[in-house]
Amino acid sequence: MRKVYSLLLIALFAVTLSACGNTQQNETGPSDEAKNDTQTFKIGAIPDQDVSNLNRRFNDFATYLSEQTGLNVEYVPSQDYAALVTAFNRGEIQLGWFGGLTGVQARSQVEGAEAIAQRPSDQEFHSVFIKQAGLDVESLKDLEGKSFTFGSESSTSGHLMPRHFLTEAGINPEEDFAGEPNYSGSHDATYQLVEAGSFETGALNELVWKSAVEEGKVDTDKVDVFYTTPAYYDYNWTINNVNDTFGEGTKQKVQDALLNMGEKQKDILELFHTDQFIKTKNENYKAIEDVAKSLGIIK
């Protein structure tokens, strides 16, 4: 009897040990996984151009940033402009390549978020208005009665600032075009739609237009520029509250990596249509915020 009882105790002890081991494994597993996930420094960008171009640009940049900072950097594509702002707000993106408007939106939702770098061209950025070749349009006022396409609704250079300058010229996009204005979703889609004859006119990012012309991606016998806007601040790198998660000094390390990009990173920088990044600050985009508020795009 004692022998049977002893065997039962041994068996029960073994089962208990096994259960404890499984419980301990289950408890540590998810926390380790969660820890690894929080230590991945995620970057994102507004999808303002063709996805294949964006993937190449930001995957190469993620590799560079990893090497310079020691962080585990990963590029996370965004479905649209609003998705990137939302991901940044939730802390799912630590560093974002924003346009002027989306940068303002992101920083307004995250206390302590900071614009830390931009291209020299972003200090004096422009939009271009394009038309089908041969169309009798020489000024913004001539757009009355013409079909028109913006880029994304959340785009600074493809919508916000073009709408601002149209309003200044006395053109109401909802009333004065031939039908409602279209939103193409990206800058390259805008010139493609005008070139194809789907819309008579449109507006887009000047750098994207110039790059498309240089690379022969657009037929200038079918579409050309008739107006370039005054300058404004636009694209920027905006960083989340990373020091809390990744350690004191992380923000500075990331900014230094951006500002130190040079000849060795020429291939990456060319994908951004620049040869360097320079410092910027939140205050530089106050005019963008004011325009967005005046047009009712943000409150």
Structural domain spans, the chain = 1-38, 40-122+239-293, 127-228
Length of the chain: 299
Please report the pLDDT score of residue 120 as a whole number.
97
Please report the pLDDT score of residue 31 as a whole number.
37
Please report the pLDDT score of residue 71 as a whole number.
97
pTM (whole model) above 0.75 = yes
Burial class of 225 by CB neighbour count within 10 A (0 to 12, 13 to 18, 19+): middle
Tens-of-pLDDT digits for all 299 residues of the chain? 444 444 434 444 343 434 444 434 343 333 333 334 458 999 999 998 777 778 888 999 999 999 999 999 999 999 999 999 999 999 999 999 999 999 999 999 999 999 999 999 999 999 999 999 999 999 999 999 999 999 999 999 999 999 999 999 999 999 999 999 999 999 999 999 999 999 999 999 999 999 999 999 999 999 999 999 999 999 999 999 999 999 999 999 999 999 999 999 999 999 899 999 999 999 999 999 999 999 988 87
Please report the pLDDT score of residue 19 as a whole number.
42
The CATH class that applies to domain 127-228 reads alpha beta
Same fold flag, 40-122+239-293 and 127-228:
yes
Please report the pLDDT score of residue 16 as a whole number.
41
Q: How far apart are CA 111 and CA 106, in angstroms?
A: 10
Please report the pLDDT score of residue 13 as a whole number.
39
Q: Regarding the domain delimited by 40-122+239-293, which CATH topology (the fold level of the hierarchy) does it fall under?
A: D-Maltodextrin-Binding Protein; domain 2 (3.40.190)
Instruction: Give the strand pairing for 127-132 and 278-279.
Output: unpaired
Please report the pLDDT score of residue 33 as a whole number.
39
Q: For Cα atoms 295, 297, 299, give the angle at the middle one, nearest 5 degrees.
A: 100
Q: Three-class SS of residue 37? A: helix
